[in-house]
Structures are given as structure tokens and as C-alpha cells.
């Protein structure tokens, strides 16, 4: 069963019930995240859970009261939030960019949790000509109407690829000839000291912890933004804009006769 609830931010859509969500997954309905009641068991649930894991759909265990707060109907211990977009795969996107003659420009977002930051980054990415954004399957901001609104519609215009393992996605991107550059304060090199003339992927980390150590080990280069004030860091969406437009600046300069 599909339920649509009205809110001040627009329309929220979710599905509840084991069979209903299984049918949705079978049909390719884009799902942002599934909430599962802690301790849920049974043969049908195991079949459901096997499908969730096979399709790499994000899920989270929650107490029963969390699900009851979403719907009082017979949810059977599971609720799935629908995504406003269909997610792509970087393994499909990147070859297509090369085949079309483009010089790939990607953003990789590691553990972002604020949906408005995500929306703001998408808006900047679309304006800067970014070809695609890669996000992790788990531990990421909700992909919902708030993200779409904050992005000013960019969520529907720029490909968003979801990766079960960001480390594996980055390794694939690097092997495809793309330079992977992390934006972090943990370096002495400034963002305007790196050449961005070829294929490039900018990596930005979470609002609190930055880029995870495992991802840091995979970077081809690290850059920072100079700060003159007492606050130690910029908002991640602002940092994304600063470095993304340095890529734009360098490419425009290179294209001029």
C-alpha cells in the first residue's frame, strides 16, 4: 500500500508493509530508505531482507514507536520512504561521459548528513557544470522534497549515483583516469595550487568529521581553502562552491585562445 501525506514542505510519500515494499523493489520504484522495526523476524521478513541486501537499498533499524509515529496502520514493522529521483551507477555514468567527448567533472560526497547542505551543493554543482554526484548508500542525508527545494530543482537535473562502498567507487573512478582531489583542512596545499585541467572528482566530507580516513588514503591530492578569521572551517556547501568554481575558472582559462 502507498500512502501520501501532505506537509508544509510539499508531499511526502512512503510505502508500508512487507509485500508492498517487496513489490515496489521488484518494479524498480526508487527508494530512499527503509525503516525496520528492531527484532523483526519470520520467513517473509527474511525474504524481504534478502531482497533489500541484494538491491543495496539503505535501511535502518528503529523502535516500533518510530514506525507508529509515521502510520498507525498495519505496517508489519517496515516503512519505506520513496525517493523523488532514480539513482544511477557511476559504472554507467562515467563511460558515457567519455563516449560523449566530455572531460568528466564529478563531486563525491562522503557522509553528508544535512539535507539542506546536500541540496545547496547540488545547486552549485549544476550551475558549475558538474557531470554527476556520487553519494554513499548508507549514512547520508535523506533524498526528499527538502533536498529538491534547496537545490532549486538541480536534484532533477544532475545525475546522482549511489555507491554501496564509496572506497570501491573511488577506486573505479581513479582507474578510469579521473584525478580524485579531497577538500580538507588536513593539508598545506591551497586549492588554487592544483591543476584541474583534466578529468577530476572533488571529494567533500561530512559536516562534523570531514573526509573519512579510508577515503583520505585514496586521494590523488588534497587541497584546502585559506581562512583569515577565527572560525576553523567553512560550511561544506560553501567549500564545494569555492573549489568547484576554481575548476571552472581553470578550464575556461585553458579554453581561451
Q: What is the pTM of this model?
A: 0.86
Residue closest to 35 by CA, chosen among 55, 61, 53, 17: 61
pLDDT above 60: residue 225: yes
Pairing of strands 78-82, 31-37: antiparallel
Residue 2 has pLDDT above 80, yes or no: no
Contacts of 130 (CB under 8 A, 6+ apart): 105, 106, 107, 158, 244
Q: Residue 10: its pLDDT value, please?
A: 39
CATH for 90-255 (3.40.1280.10, 3.40.50.2300, 1.10.3720.10, 3.40.50.300): 3.40.1280.10
Task: Provide, rounded to the nearest whole percent, the portion of the chain with pLDDT above 90.
Answer: 84
pLDDT(119) > 70 = yes
Confidence at 12, pLDDT banded by 50, 70, 90:
low
Taking only the tens place, the pLDDT of each residue in 19-55 is 999 999 999 999 999 999 999 999 999 999 999 999 9
Residues of the chain with CATH 3.40.1280.10: 90-255
Q: 2-82: which CATH topology?
A: 60s Ribosomal Protein L30; Chain: A; (3.30.1330)
pLDDT of residue 255: 84
| Tens-place pLDDT, residues 80-101 | 999 999 999 999 999 999 999 9
From-to residues of CATH 3.30.1330.30 in the chain? 2-82
Give the DSSP per-residue string, the chain. Answer: -EEEEEETTEEEEEEESHHHHHHHHHTT--EEEEEEETT--SHHHHHHHHHHHHHT--EEEE-HHHHHHH-SS--TTEEEEEPSS--B-HHHHHHHHHHTT---EEEEE-S---HHHHHHHHHHHHHHT--EEEEESSS----SHHHHHHTTTGGGTS-EEEES-HHHHHHHHHHTTPEEEEE-SSSS-BGGGS---SSEEEEE-BTTTBS-HHHHTT-SEEEB----SSS----HHHHHHHHHHHHHHHHHHHH--
Quick: pLDDT tens for 229-242.
888 889 999 999 99
121-176 pLDDT per residue, tens: 999 999 999 999 999 998 899 898 889 999 999 999 999 999 999 999 999 999 99
Amino acid at each position: 500500500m502507498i500512502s501520501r501525506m501532505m506537509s508544509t514542505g510539499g508531499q511526502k510519500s512512503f510505502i508500508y508493509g512487507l509485500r508492498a515494499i517487496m513489490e515496489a523493489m521488484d518494479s524498480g520504484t526508487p527508494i530512499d530508505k527503509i525503516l525496520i522495526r528492531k527484532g523483526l523476524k519470520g520467513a517473509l521478513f527474511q525474504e524481504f531482507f534478502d531482497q533489500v541486501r541484494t538491491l543495496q537499498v539503505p535501511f535502518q533499524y528503529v523502535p516500533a514507536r518510530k514506525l507508529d509515529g509515521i502510520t498507525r496502520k498495519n505496517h508489519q514493522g517496515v516503512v519505506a520512504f520513496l525517493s523523488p529521483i532514480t539513482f544511477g551507477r557511476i559504472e554507467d555514468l562515467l563511460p558515457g561521459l567519455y563516449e560523449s567527448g566530455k572531460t568528466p567533472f564529478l563531486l563525491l560526497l562522503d557522509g553528508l548528513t544535512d539535507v539542506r547542505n546536500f541540496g545547496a551543493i547540488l545547486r552549485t554543482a549544476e550551475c558549475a557544470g558538474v557531470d554527476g554526484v556520487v553519494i554513499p548508500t548508507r549514512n547520508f542525508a535523506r533524498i526528499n522534497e527538502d533536498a529538491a527545494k534547496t537545490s532549486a530543482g538541480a536534484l532533477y537535473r544532475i545525475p546522482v549515483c549511489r555507491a554501496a562502498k564509496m572506497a570501491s567507487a573511488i577506486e573505479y573512478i581513479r582507474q578510469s583516469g579521473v584525478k580524485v582531489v579531497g577538500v580538507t583542512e588536513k593539508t598545506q596545499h591551497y586549492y588554487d595550487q592544483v591543476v584541474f585541467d583534466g578529468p577530476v572528482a572533488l571529494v567533500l566530507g561530512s559536516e562534523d568529521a570531514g573526509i573519512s580516513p579510508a577515503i583520505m588514503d585514496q586521494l590523488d591530492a588534497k587541497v584546502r581553502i585559506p581562512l583569515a578569521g577565527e572560525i576553523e572551517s567553512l560550511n561544506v556547501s560553501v567549500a564545494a562552491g569555492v573549489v568547484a568554481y576554481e575548476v571552472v575558472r581553470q578550464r575556461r582559462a585553458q579554453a581561451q585562445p
